[in-house]
Amino acid sequence: MTAICEHCGDDALPSVYTPEGSSRGLTVHVCGRCGLVQSLPRTDRAQRRAAAVSSAADWGNVRYGKGFRTATALDAVRRHVDTTRTFALLDVGSNRGRFVQALIEAAPQAHVVAIEPDERVADSCADIDRTELTVARIEDVALETGRFDLIHSCHTIEHLAHPARTLRDHARTLKDGGLLVLDAPNIALIGSDDIVEEWFIDKHLTHFSARTLLRMVEACGFEIVEAPDPADRENLFIVARKRAAMAAQIAVDAGEVDRAYELISSYAAMRAHNLAALAGVAGELTALAPRGLAVWGAGRIFDSLVVHGGFDPKRAKLVVDAHLAGHLGERHGCALSGPEALSEARPGVIAIMSRGFAREIEAEARRLAPDAEILLYADLLGRARLRLAA
């Protein structure tokens, strides 16, 4: 069967990129009509795998990132809904229930339907007050028309084989004037000059820009109330209101097609350059190891450093990761510790292998190990790139 664009239905979907290490054999395509970036084939219902961390496309199931978005979503609910009144909310992809828990505490009359396919984490929602949990995929759940005042969907839409179909169904299950609070990864991140991880991971089938996500949401029966913050390159956070009619025809967007091509080709070149520079980062850290080296961050950047940079993780006296330590015992043969281990280990140098939370981690590292020199990933990579260019 010929694949067609999930947004505009066009069948011109040239392949533009092959992700590193895809266990599903996915390739990345740009719709020649609307510019939506999508991975094909849309392998629905793939086997779930054990928790894993990898810098390649087979990156696994450690979904702790969603928890950081709770405050953003709850603030949006407070901006648009009177939280003292009775309302019904659908939470799509409830994960460990952090948002549901926070909402139930903030809104004493709210009722929640929580949908989460992963039975290993869904249990966390099972005992929350005024919450009805369904362990299933959103596509498989038949919900009443006009049941909800609000739908919250955080970092879920990009996983779906047919996101537009689900958005249209969200519009159907909302009351007239009901709100959709939607959060998704932003493809703009691949334009970062320090990217080393494979962005096009197997779990994500649609890779939205602000423009393609806004257009899809509008076409599926919504008007935009809050558009994504242009300064946020990691997340596309949207608030939209159900409106009466759906769009009949999706217009051509040649500018978006060009932007998608440009972004993906510069990403491929930048990532290759940075992967080559990682050997230099490994060299700098190895030279510092005799002073007592701690690495903070055992996620995808650390994985790239070992796999592509050739860093011997045994050189680190300590590998710290506040979140992964709770999910995985070790990475590349190194036991993972929580941050508190730093105060006892007293490292001379702490290398922070994180992008999104580097400043927060730096402050915490200074508090726990005030005498240590602190190095940030972006600076280490920057120096290695300069050496590579010289």
Binding residues for Zn ion (CB under 5 A): 5, 7-8, 10, 31, 33-34, 36
Query: Per residue in 266-279, is it b (16+ CB within 10 Å) or e — as a string?
Result: ebeebbeebbebbb
Whichever of 26 and 336 has its CB closer to Zn ion, that residue is: 26
Whichever of 103 and 257 has its CB closer to Zn ion, that residue is: 257
293-296: strand order across its sheet: 330-331, 334-337, 318-320, 293-296, 349-352, 373-376
- Least separation in angstroms between CB 186 and Zn ion: 19
Q: What is the DSSP letter of 125?
A: G
Contact 271, 46 (CB under 8 A): no
Whichever of 32 and 280 has its CB closer to Zn ion, that residue is: 32
- Least separation in angstroms between CB 29 and Zn ion: 10
In 3D, which of 158, 144, 211 has the Cα closest to residue 6?
Answer: 158
Contacts made by residues 319-322, CB under 8 angstroms, sequence distance 24+: 319/294, 319/295, 320/294, 320/295, 320/296, 321/296, 321/297
- Least separation in angstroms between CB 160 and Zn ion: 16
Residues 311, 317, 319, 325, Cα dihedral to 10°: 140
In 3D, which of 369, 245, 261 has the Cα closest to residue 317?
Answer: 369
- Least separation in angstroms between CB 257 and Zn ion: 9
Contact 114, 143 (CB under 8 A): no
Query: How many CB atoms sit inside 10 A of residue 61's CB?
Result: 15
In three-state secondary structure terms, 361 is helix
- Least separation in angstroms between CB 181 and Zn ion: 25
How many Å is the Cα radius of gyration of the chain? 22
Whichever of 7 and 203 has its CB closer to Zn ion, that residue is: 7
Whichever of 11 and 312 has its CB closer to Zn ion, that residue is: 11
- Least separation in angstroms between CB 13 and Zn ion: 8
Q: Which residues, 6+ apart, have CB-to-CB distance to 80 below 8 Å?
A: 179, 225, 239
Q: How far apart (Å, rounded) are the C-alpha atoms in residues 67 and 63? A: 9
- Phi-psi category of 332—alpha, beta or left, where left has phi over 0 and alpha has psi -120 to 50? left
Peptide bond into 41 cis (omega under 30): yes
Give, to the nearest 10 degrees, the angle between helix 254-288 and helix 377-389.
90
Whichever of 10 and 123 has its CB closer to Zn ion, that residue is: 10
- Least separation in angstroms between CB 12 and Zn ion: 8
- Least separation in angstroms between CB 211 and Zn ion: 12
Whichever of 14 and 338 has its CB closer to Zn ion, that residue is: 14
Q: Can you list the positions of beta strands (E) in 4-129? A: 15-17, 27-30, 37-40, 87-92, 110-115
Whichever of 33 and 300 has its CB closer to Zn ion, that residue is: 33
Whichever of 33 and 96 has its CB closer to Zn ion, that residue is: 33
- Least separation in angstroms between CB 187 and Zn ion: 15
Q: How far apart (Å, rounded) are the C-alpha atoms in residues 332 and 314? A: 9
- Least separation in angstroms between CB 182 and Zn ion: 19
Whichever of 34 and 181 has its CB closer to Zn ion, that residue is: 34
